[in-house]
Structure formats: C-alpha cells, structure tokens
C-alpha cells in the first residue's frame, strides 16, 4: 500500500490535524477487524443507520458510547454457570468479545438504538446548527440609491 507524506499540509493549515490523522489511519497497512460484520446506510439526506450483526448477544451484553466525534460499540458475553457444564462439539457462532469504533462527522448525533433478530441498529442524524448553515445575504438597495444621488448631483453641476 502507498504511504502519503502529509507533513507539508501540516505546515500550511490550521485546525485540520484530525482530518490528516484520519487519512493516515485509512492509508495505514493495518488490517481492519472483520468481526462483527456491519453495514452503514444512508436512510435520508441527513440520516444514517449502522447495523451490526450481534447474533447471540443480548441487550445486557452490549454497550454503546458516543463521545466527541467517536462512536464505540462493545459486546461481551456474560458468563453463565450453565455454560461451564456444557461441552461444545462445534462452535460456528462467534460469541467473542468485540469493540467496534466509528468516527463521526461534525454535528452527527446518535438518536437511538434497537436490537432485533440479532441485528443492532444504531440511528444517527446530522443536525447542523443554524449558525453554521449557509444563508443568503440580500443585496441592499440602499447602496444603489446613494450612487444614484451622487450621479444626479454631478449632472446638476
């Protein structure tokens, strides 16, 4: 895999260090964990859903934490005394502990989570504050009148 040197960008920009560190992580040679499998969907213009396959986990075994621009989903099976007495001849259903992290864009908030049929659904929405939304600036007619007044006074002279 190619490695990009982003140091020239660090010298000429301010406040983009988080973006550059994300680019470094994306282009690193580390293999991404594949367990548990997940989907990321866009459900509306500013709404998203992360679906994680967590077969065998109950609500008590899962935890979801949103902190700053990171979403962390952890799963750990609670040990049960009955499990120790069983002898598993073949284990094809993975029930190992996991931790999956997602980087969230600015203003993306978690609105809810649900567990159904072995799938954990996490709903997210991007809510941009009114102060950050683009707005139209009206062109004032007052400045045009001032120019017309100056032209009229110049003609009179």
Query: What structural domains does the chain harbor?
Result: 1-30 (no CATH), 33-133 (2.60.40.790)
Length of the chain (residues): 157
Peptide bond into 73 cis (omega under 30): no
For 126-132, the CB contacts below 8 A with 24+ separation are 126/46, 126/47, 126/48, 127/46, 128/46, 132/107
Distance between start and end Cα atoms, the chain:
75
Closest CA to 74 of 105, 108, 113: 113
pLDDT (0 to 100) of residue 112: 93
Give the pLDDT of the chain (157 residues) as one tens digit per residue: 456 666 666 666 666 666 767 776 666 655 566 788 999 999 988 899 999 999 888 899 999 999 988 899 999 987 665 556 778 788 777 778 899 998 888 888 999 999 999 899 999 998 888 887 788 888 887 655 544 555 555 555 5
**Residues 6+ positions from 28 with CB-CB distance below 8 Å:** 1
The helix/strand/coil state of 63 is: strand
pLDDT (0 to 100) of residue 81: 59
Closest CA to 93 of 44, 134, 56: 56
């Amino acid at each position: 895999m190619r490695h990009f040197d982003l140091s020239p960008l660090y010298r000429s920009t301010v406040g983009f260090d988080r973006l550059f560190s994300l680019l470094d992580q994306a282009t690193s040679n580390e293999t991404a964990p594949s367990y548990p499998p997940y989907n990321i969907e866009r459900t509306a213009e500013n709404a998203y859903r992360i679906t994680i396959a967590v077969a065998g986990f109950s609500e008590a075994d899962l935890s979801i934490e949103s902190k700053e621009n990171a979403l962390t989903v952890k799963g750990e099976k609670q040990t049960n005394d009955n499990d120790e007495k069983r002898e598993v001849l073949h284990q094809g259903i993975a029930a190992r502990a996991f931790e999956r992290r997602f980087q969230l864009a600015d203003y993306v908030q978690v609105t809810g989570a649900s567990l159904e049929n072995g799938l954990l659904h996490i709903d997210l929405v991007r809510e941009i504050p009114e102060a950050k939304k683009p707005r139209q600036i009206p062109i004032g007619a007052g400045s045009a009148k001032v120019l017309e007044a100056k032209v009229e006074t110049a003609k009179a002279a």
